Amino acid sequence: KAGVTQTPRYLIKTRGQQVTLSCSPISGHRSVSWYQQTPGQGLQFLFEYFSETQRNKGNFPGRFSGRQFSNSRSEMNVSTLELGDSALYLCASSLAGLGNTEAFFGQGTRLTVV
């Protein structure tokens, strides 16, 4: 059974550019959550999608957005990149995104903004 797949694994972007990251969840999982991980702030929740709908959102500016497709694959977009957006972006897949279901992480996308 394939795990959570994130692409690309590494990205280098320039300030002001935008970037799109992709996440394919485990087959049968309909909930995809996105997290940002930095050495200073740790793992922080960005948003969660289920059946193409955003159900939950963390405390990030509007430059961070996402969407989910009918096959449960999800993308997140960051516009007008800032140096502080350099981080490991992780997506987590779960059956339903409810409190009593386990979430499994992909390998992450390492974004560097220069």
Which residues 51-110 are close enough to bind other proteins by CB under 8 A?
55-56, 58, 88, 90, 92, 94, 97-100, 102-108
Q: Which stretch binds other proteins (CB under 8 A): 13-21, 49-57, 62-70, 76-84?
A: 49-57
User: Can you point out the beta strands (E) in 14-108?
Assistant: 19-24, 31-38, 42-50, 53-57, 64-68, 74-78, 87-94, 104-105
Beta bridge partners of 105: 92
For residue 98 the two structure tokens come to 């409810």
DSSP code of residue 24: E
Q: Which stretch binds other proteins (CB under 8 A): 10-18, 27-35, 59-67, 75-83?
A: 27-35
The residues of the shown chain that bind other proteins, judged by CB under 8 A, are: 31-33, 35, 42-45, 48-50, 55-56, 58, 88, 90, 92, 94, 97-100, 102-108
